[in-house]
Amino acid sequence: MKIDILTLFPESFAPFEESIIQRARKKGAIQINVIDIRTFSKDKHKKCDDTPFGGGAGMLMSVQPVYDAVASVKKKSSKVIYPSPSGQVFSSQMAKELAKQKHLIFICGHYEGIDQRLIDIFDAQEISIGDYVLTGGEIPTMAIVDALSRFVPGVISEESLQEESFSNGLLEHPQYTRPRVFQGREVPKVLLSGNHQKIKEFQLQESLKKTKKVRPDLLKGEK
């Protein structure tokens, strides 16, 4: 899986030099390239913003550098993603689907975003990470790339994926580690019993209890 990330702020992607994503990059399970949109600007001052037609507050990203940056990496089979508050809300299922693609291109918006024609020309999928507005598309891109990378074969173990929140439509059950008693709070006894059947039943009950309390919409199949 190859991922090209187009941004005005390439240094924002330092987190991809760490931990699981960095290991996946090193062993070749995923290839991530961060590309500076500004280097494509034909403006003599490398300007990358412009005023929106029709007026209104703020600036838009200039069309030319974004277009040229996408065109420099796009192949026939590439899928273009534009993280945007007005996109479909991201989910584990979407992450799983995106992980099947060969080549993804992310356009990180800034200011008031990008020209609609870029979305149309590249048939970009707009994806929102929630009903709020961030200052730029770098954090949404990081969230989406991180989540989908987990479903790329070889990035994490199959077993870890199966026991995760949303894998069976529920939130994960609470987890505990040593010590058995911490600040007077004991680990549930069944987890120390060694009885795997009982442990599984307990964890499923806890999972259901938590989902009912925190995300009842998941139980009603609303999400």
Ligand X SMILES: C[S@@+](CC[C@H](N)C(=O)[O-])C[C@H]1O[C@@H](n2cnc3c(N)ncnc32)[C@H](O)[C@@H]1O
Residues that bind ligand X (CB under 6 A): 83-86, 108-110, 112-113, 128-130, 132-137, 140
DSSP 81-136: EEEEEEEEEP-HHHHHHHTT-SEEEEE---TT---HHHHHHTTPEEEESSSS--S-
Task: Write down the least CB distance from residue 89 to ligand X, Å.
Answer: 9
Burial (CB count <10 Å: 0-12, 13-18, 19+), residue 64: middle
Nearer to ligand X, 68 or 126 (CB): 126
Nearer to ligand X, 129 or 155 (CB): 129
Nearer to ligand X, 52 or 188 (CB): 52
Nearer to ligand X, 77 or 86 (CB): 86
Q: Which residue is nearest to ligand X (CB)?
A: 109
Amino acid residing at 50: D
Amino acid residing at 193: S
Task: Write down the least CB distance from residue 60 to ligand X, Å.
Answer: 9
Task: Write down the least CB distance from residue 204 to ligand X, Å.
Answer: 33
Task: Write down the least CB distance from residue 208 to ligand X, Å.
Answer: 30
CA distances from 141 to 35, 36, 115 (A): 13, 14, 18
